[in-house]
Chains A and B, each alone.
Chain A
C-alpha cells in the first residue's frame, strides 16, 4: 500500500494501442501492450530504436494518451482526466528521468530539483531539494548551472528532480543512454538504490542489456508488442 491509499500495481497498462502520423505515413508505435509494475519493483523495457519504448513510457506518465486500451497510474486513469488533472497526477505520482536530462538551462542545479516542489506548492522546498541533492552526491554543486556539470552529474540532478517529490512511480527513459559505461553504471546504481530505499516502482526503458539485467523483470518490445518477459 502506498501513501495515497492505492493497493495493487502502481502502473498497469492493458491492451495499449498507439499510432501517430509521420508525414503521410501512419506509424503504429504500440499494438496491444500489457504491462504492470508493483511497488518496490524495477521493470526494464528493452527493444530496438523505434520499437515504441519511449511512447509506452510517455503513455505511462500521462504525457501521451493511448488510442485504445486502459492505463492505471496508482489506480487512476489518465485518459479520463483533464490536462490539469493529468499534470496533478504527474506532480504527485510520477517522477521522470530522461536520456537527455532535460534540465532547465536558466535554473541552477538546486532550482531545477526544487521545481516539482514549487509546482506542488510545497513548503521548505529549498532545504528538501538540497537534502535530495546530497543523497545523490551533488550537495556542493547545488548553485551551479547545468551547463557547468558533466553528463553523469546532470543525470544525477535529473534523478534528484524525479525523486524529490516522493513520487511512487519512477519512469526512466534511457537514463544511461547518453553517458559512458562507467558513469552510466554509477547513475544506474544510484537510481536502483534510491528507488529501493523509497519502495517506489521503476519502469526503466533501455537498450542496454547490462542495465536491464539490474531490474527485477525484463520485457522486450518488438514492433510495438511485448515479445518476451524474463526474471
Chain B
C-alpha cells in the first residue's frame, strides 16, 4: 500500500509540481464549468432553503403545511380545527402571512406580517429601527412606534417581519374567518406519508398538504420562467469545460506517452501505467472546490434577480445558502467532469504500443487529426433539425402536450449541435482563409499561424467553441432583451395611450398577493381627481398549490379583450359576461383545454368549472392564466382589491399633468402615477433586470474562453518546442515566433466571433420560437448585431491577451535545447 502511494505520488502527482501553469489552467477550466453548472443548482437550493428556513422559524418543528385555494386568505378558518383533529397531528399552527410594506419617511420595506395563534404583538429589531414607520394594512396605516421589539425575529425573513395575534392579523388584513396556512407538527412516530394522505382527505381537494418548507406557488411563477433557460446555458458551459479538460488531459497524456511506455517496459501493471490519471482526479477536485466559490459569485446575481420579484410576492428575502450536499457535489462534479474528459485520452494512452513508442516508430502524433467536413455537415443538419423542432413547437399556440417537451429538447439540440458544428466549422473556415493567404501576399508568420490552426482542427475547434460560446450568448441575450423591449413597446402603444398607471410603492410594482392595494374608498377618491374620466381596475388572484398547478385568475373593469392575440375560439365582452373564460396557452396545454371545454379552478369554496370561450397568447403568469368577468371573480373568490389601476384622462388633459395631480391628491400613502412612456420604461428596466443572470453567465463564459485559449496555446507551445527550434534555425526571429502565436490568437478570436454570430442567430431563432412555451407570450424576432460586433471585439481582445504568454514563451525558447530533444 505504501509503495502504491509512493508510485501514485511519483507517477501521478509529480506532474502537478513540475507543470504548475498547466495544472492551474486545467483547474480553472474545471472550475469554470463547475461554477456555471453549480450556480443553477445553488440558486435552486438557495431559493428552496430560504423558504424552508422561513417556515422553520415561523413554526418550529413543523413538517407539513396546509395551504388553500389562493395564497391570500385561501383557507377557511375551520380547517385549522380539522387539521388539529386529524390523528397523527401533534400541533396545528394557523397563520396569516400578509406581505405588506412598512413605510417610514426614509425607507419603504416589504415585510411579512405574521399572524400566529398564541403570539403577542411585536416587531423585529430591524423594523423597530425604522423611525415613524407605519405598517400598511387593509384597515389603514398602523403606527409601529412603541411596538415591542423581539430580538428573536431578527433571523426571520431577514428581519423584515412583524408578528401579531392571529385574530389581529385577520382583522387588519381582511381575512375574517380565513387563514393563509396551517403548519403541522406531526405526533412522535407518525408516518409522514400516511399523515399527509389523512390530512388531504380532511381538508378537501381544493386545499393542499405540502412539505412545510416547500416553495410557495407564487415564487414558482418567477423561478419557472428562466431557470430552465439558465440551466441550458449551464449545460453548455459544462460541455465547453469537458471539451477543454479533455483537450488538456489529452495533450498532457500525449506528452506522457513516453513515460507511460517506460513504466510498462519496466514491468508496470496496466494499473500502474494508468497512474497519471490520479493527477486528473486531483485537478478535478481542486477545480470543483474553486468552482464552489465561482458558483456562489454567479448565483449571487441570479438570486438577486429572483429576489427582486419573489421578495415582493412572498415576503421572504432570498439569500445564498451553501448546503453541505451542494458543497460536496461541486468537488465531486469537478472530479466527474475531469474523469469524463479524461476517459478517452486515458483509454488511448493505455492502448499505446510500448515497443513502437520506445523506438519512435509509429508514435501517434497529436497533430494527425483531420478536418472533419462530414461531422460539420452532420452537426449542421442536427442544428437545422433542432430549429425545425423549435418552430414546430411554436405552431398553433403550442397547445398540444407534445410541443413543450419537443420545444425544450429541440432548443437543447439546436444549441448543442450548433456548438459542435462551430467546433468543426472553425478549422474549415481557417482552411479557406489559409487558401486566401497563400494566394495573397501574407507573411510567413501569418501563413504558419493558419497552418498550425488548420493542422490541429480539434484543438482549434475547442478554442473556437469557447470563444463562440461567449460571443453567441451575448448576442442571444442582447437580441432577446431587444425583442422583449419591442414586445413591451408594441403592447403599451404609447402614442395612442390615454391612461396613467397608478400604484403604491413604485412605478412597476408587483402587487399580486400583497396587501398594499387600493381600497374602494381610495379608488373612489382617485376617480374624483380632476381630469380623470374613469378608473379601470385589474384584479388578479393566484390559485394552485404547486409550481405545476399554479393558475392566475384575472379580471378587469373594462373587459378589454379586442386585438389581443387569440389562438383558438372567440373573445368578447359578451362571452365573458355570460360566465365564460379566456385561458392562457400554457394552461390550455396543461389541462388539455379547447374552446367549449371547462377549466377547473381551486376556490375557497371547492372546485369550480368554468367554460372556455377562447385561448389567447397573453403572458400573465407565464401563460397559466384564466381571464373572467368581475362578477365571476367575486362569485369565486369574493371581493378582491385591484392588482393594477389605470386612470384614464379626460380629453385635453396632458398625461404628465394628470399624473402630477394624482400624486398630489393625497388619496393614499406613497402613491405613484406613471405616464405610458414612464410605465414602458419601468417595464423595460424590469426585463433588463431579469436578463441580468444571462449576462453573469456570459461573463463567466468569456473567462472560460480566456482559459481555453491560454491553456491550449501553452500546451501547443510545449509540443512545438522542437518545431520552434527548427524555425529559429531556418531564420525565424523571436519576434516572428511571437507574432505567429499572437496571430493564431487573433485568428481564433476572429473565427470564434464569426461563428459566435452564427450561434447567436441560430440560438435567437430557437429561443424566440420556444419562449412562448416558457413565458406564455410571443415576442417579435429581433437581432442585436451591434452587440455581436461589440462582444466579438471583446473576444478578439481576450484571445489576444491569452496568447501573450505563450507568444513570449515561444520567443524565449532555448533553440539548441529544443533541437536536441528527441
Whether the Cβ atoms of B14 and A90 lie closer than 8 Å is no
Which positions 442-494 of chain B face chain A at CB distance < 8 Å? Answer: none
- Interface segment among B264-272, B703-711, B766-774: the answer is B264-272
In the complex, chain A residues whose CB is within 8 Å of the CB of B359 = 54-55, 58, 173
Contact, CB under 8 Å: B355 / A63: yes
Chain A positions within 8 Å of B822 at CB level: 100
Chain A contacts of B261 at CB under 8 A? 102
List residues 109-155 of chain A with CB under 8 A from any CB of chain B.
111, 115-116, 118-122, 125
Knowing A102-B258, A106-B259, say if A119 contacts B358 (CB, 8 Å). no
| Cross-chain contact A98 with B358 (CB below 8 angstroms) | yes
Q: Are A119 and B267 in contact (CB under 8 A)?
A: yes
Chain B: interface residue total (CB-CB under 8 A):
28
**Inter-chain contacts of A106 with B (CB < 8 A):** 10, 14-15, 18, 259
Please indicate the chain A residues that have their CB under 8 angstroms from the CB of B264 in the complex.
63, 87
Q: Are A115 and B355 in contact (CB under 8 A)?
A: no
Q: Are B3 and A121 in contact (CB under 8 A)?
A: yes
**Is A91 an interface position by the 8 A CB rule?**
yes
- Would you give the shortest CB distance from A191 to chain B, in whole angstroms? 17
Contact at B266–A96, with CB atoms within 8 Å? yes
A22, B270: Cα distance in complex, Å:
26
Report if A24 contacts B (CB, 8 A): no
User: From residue A178, how far is it (CB to closest CB) to chain B in Å?
Assistant: 9
B685 at the interface (CB under 8 A from A): no
Q: Nearest Cβ distance between residue A28 and chain B, in whole angstroms?
A: 14
Q: Assuming A58-B359, A100-B822, A118-B7, is B262 touching A94 (CB within 8 A)?
A: no
Nearest opposing residue in chain A for B5, CB measure = A118
A119 / chain B contacts, CB cutoff of 8 Å: 7, 263, 266-269, 272
Residues of A within 8 A of B263 (CB): 104, 115, 119
In the complex, B812 has a CB within 8 A of chain A: no
CA gap between A121 and B4 in the complex, in Å: 8
Is A89's beta carbon under 8 Å from chain B?
A: yes
Q: With contacts A22-B362, A58-B355, A118-B10 known, is A125 near B3, CB below 8 A?
A: yes
A63 with B267: CB separation less than 8 A: no
Q: Is B6 an interface residue (CB 8 A)?
A: yes
Q: Is A88 among interface residues, defined by CB-CB distance under 8 A?
A: yes
Whether B354 is near chain A, meaning CB under 8 Å from some CB there, is yes
> How many Å from the CB of B25 to the closest CB on chain A?
18
Closest-CB distance, B819 to chain A (whole angstroms): 15
Q: Which of B2-29 contact A (CB under 8 A)?
A: 3, 6-7, 10-11, 14-15, 18
The answer to whether B14 and A107 touch across the interface, beta carbons within 8 angstroms, is yes
A61 contacts the other chain (CB 8 A): yes
Of A87, A92, A165, which contacts B269 at CB under 8 A?
A: A87
Q: Is A230's beta carbon under 8 Å from chain B?
A: no
The reply to whether A55 and B355 form a contact with Cβ atoms under 8 Å apart is yes
A118 to chain B, nearest CB (A): 5
| Dominant secondary structure of chain B at its interface with chain A | helix
CA of A106 to CA of B264 in the docked complex: distance in angstroms? Answer: 16
Which residue of A has the minimal Cβ distance to B15? Answer: A106
Across the interface, name the chain B residue whose C-beta is closest to A111.
B10
Partner of A64, one of B10, B269, B355: B355
- Chain B residue at minimum C-beta to C-beta distance from A162: B266
- What CA separation (Å) do A216 and B261 show in the bound complex? 31
Bound CA span A73–B822, Å: 31
Nearest CB of chain A from residue B668's CB, rounded to whole Å: 76
Determine how close the nearest CB of chain B comes to the CB of A8; give it in whole angstroms.
22
Cβ contact of A115, chosen from B266, B269, B362, cutoff 8 A: B266
CB atoms of A63 and B10 under 8 A apart: no
Say yes or no for A161: interface residue by CB 8 A criterion. yes
Q: Chain A 57-90 against B: per-residue CB contact (8 Å), 1 yes, 0 no? A: 0100101100000000000000000011001111
Assuming the A-B contacts A107-B14, A116-B267, are A102 and B355 also in contact, with contact meaning beta carbons closer than 8 angstroms in the complex?
no
A115 touches B10 (CB 8 A): yes
State whether A83 and B270 are in contact (beta carbons under 8 Å apart), knowing that A107-B10, A121-B3 are contacts in the complex. yes
Q: A22-B362, A107-B10, A111-B10 are in contact. Are A161 and B266 (CB under 8 A)?
A: yes
The answer for the CA separation of A173 and B3 in the assembled complex, in Å, is 29
Nearest chain-B residue to A116 (Cβ)? Answer: B266
The chain A residue with its CB closest to the CB of B260 is A104
Instruction: State whether A84 touches B265 (Cβ < 8 A).
Output: no
Residues of A within 8 A of B7 (CB): 118-119
With a CB–CB cut-off of 8 A, which chain B residues contact A96?
265-266
Minimum distance in angstroms from B3 CB to a CB of chain A:
5
What is the chain B residue whose CB lies nearest that of A64?
B355
Please tell me if the beta carbons of A88 and B269 are within 8 angstroms of each other in the complex. Answer: yes
The distance in angstroms between the C-alpha atoms of A32 and B6, with both chains bound, is: 43
CB distance from A225 to the nearest CB of B (A): 20
CA A116 – CA B362 in complex, angstroms?
A: 26
Q: How far is the CA of A111 from the CA of B265 in the complex (A)?
A: 16
Cβ–Cβ < 8 Å partners of A92 in chain B = 267
| CB closest residue in chain B, given A167 | B267
Q: Across the interface, which residues of A come within 8 angstroms of B3, CB to CB?
A: 118, 121-122, 125
Cβ A63 vs Cβ B265 within 8 A: yes
A96 to B412, CA, bound (A): 54
Task: Select B265's contact among A55, A61, A125, beta carbons within 8 Å.
Answer: A61
Smallest beta-carbon distance A73→chain B, Å: 12
B266 touches A58 (CB 8 A): no
Assembly CA distance A104 to B354 (angstroms): 15
Contact among B11, B14, B18, B267 with A120 in the assembled complex (CB-CB below 8 Å):
B267
How far, in whole Å, are A63 and B264 apart by their CA atoms in the complex?
A: 8
* Complex Cα gap A22–B362 (Å): 8
Question: How many angstroms from the CA of A205 to the CA of B15 in the assembled complex?
Answer: 33
Closest-CB distance, A111 to chain B (whole angstroms)? 6
Contact of A118 with B354 at beta-carbon distance under 8 Å, contacts A92-B267, A96-B266, A106-B14 already known:
no
In the bound complex, residues from chain B placing their C-beta under 8 Å from that of A100 are 822
* In the complex, chain A residues whose CB is within 8 Å of the CB of B14: 106-107
CA distance A65 to B7 in the complex (A): 28
Checking A58, A94, A98 against B267 with a beta-carbon cut-off of 8 angstroms, the contacting residue is A94
Are the CB atoms of B259 and A90 closer together than 8 Å? no
Q: A84-B269, A91-B266, A107-B14 are in contact. List 10 more A-B contacts (CB 8 A).
A: A54-B359, A63-B264, A83-B270, A90-B265, A102-B265, A102-B358, A105-B18, A106-B15, A120-B267, A161-B266
17 contacts between A and B (CB under 8 A): A58-B355, A63-B264, A63-B265, A87-B270, A87-B272, A89-B267, A98-B358, A102-B258, A104-B11, A104-B259, A105-B18, A111-B10, A118-B10, A119-B7, A119-B268, A119-B272, A165-B267
Q: Which 4 A-B pairs have the closest CB atoms?
A: A91-B267, A58-B355, A90-B267, A64-B355
Interface residues of B (CB under 8 A from A): 3, 6-7, 10-11, 14-15, 18, 258-259, 261-270, 272, 353-355, 358-359, 362, 822
